[in-house]
Amino acid sequence: MHPILAYIEGRRITQAQFSSRVGISKQQINNVVRGRSRLSMPSALRVVTATGGEISLADLATWDPEEVTE
């Protein structure tokens, strides 16, 4: 499971709520958690900042899209 998805589910918030907090579109968040795209460095830093470091750059960089199960 993508670290962003784990964070969202753990806090019982929606992707829309998370994307609003981070300043990234819901569609981009959805594409990232599904393994269709990766975050740019500035966007990844926004995620780290918005989560207070609960999601780290290492978490985002090392997640393997092969882990996706749809």
Confidence of residue 68 (pLDDT cuts 50, 70, 90): low
Helical (H) or strand (E) element with 27: helix 26-33
pTM of the model: 0.86
Strands (E), 1-70: none
* pLDDT, tens digit, 9 for 90 and up, residues 6-65: 999 999 999 999 999 999 999 999 999 999 999 999 999 999 999 999 999 999 999 888
Instruction: Note whether 45 and 55 are within 8 A (CB).
Output: no
Q: What share of the chain is helix, strand, coil (3-state, %, to 5)?
A: 65, 0, 35
| 69 CB neighbour count, 10 Å cutoff | 5
The CATH code for residues 3-64 is 1.10.260
